[in-house]
Amino acid sequence: GENVEQHPSTLSVQEGDSAVIKCTYSDSASNYFPWYKQELGKGPQLIIDIRSNVGEKKDQRIAVTLNKTAKHFSLHITETQPEDSAVYFCAASMEGTSYGKLTFGQGTILTVHP
């Protein structure tokens, strides 16, 4: 089955700096890659996603890039703010054949220092 590896496990940045989280996946049939943010005591919430026919997607300070050949995708957060501090998860799915089942990475604890 699919395996998703996520790095780093923890990331500490100063407010205003950029943060990058990277994930690799094993199954070339995966075609949908969402990113979730989880705040303390809450469930994960989707912040951005990308399909395999797109190389990059941006939403304000957040961007995701996908390299299908290398089977890796990354989350980029620019101008970080303290409220960006949370746990971030990448995931992969084979849309159209797997009933939306997601395989998650291990998570990255992001801390933004004021």
| Among the residue ranges 14-22, 39-47, 55-63, 72-80, the one whose residues contact other proteins (CB under 8 A) | 39-47
Encoded one letter per residue, x for contact with other proteins by CB under 8 A and - for no contact, window 60-99 reads -----------------------------x-----xx--x
Question: Does 7 contact other proteins by CB under 8 A?
Answer: no
Question: Does 101 contact other proteins by CB under 8 A?
Answer: yes
Q: Which residues of 87-103 are buried (b: 16+ CB within 10 A; e: fewer)?
A: bbbbbbbbeeebeeebb
Cβ-based nearer residue to other proteins, 6 or 85: 6
Q: Please identify which residue in the block is written with the tokens 């084979």.
A: 94
H helices of the chain, in order, are none
CA 114, CA 103: separation in Å to the nearest integer?
A: 33
Contacts with other proteins, residue ranges (CB under 8 A): 1, 4, 6, 9, 32, 34, 36, 41-46, 49, 51, 89, 95-96, 99-107
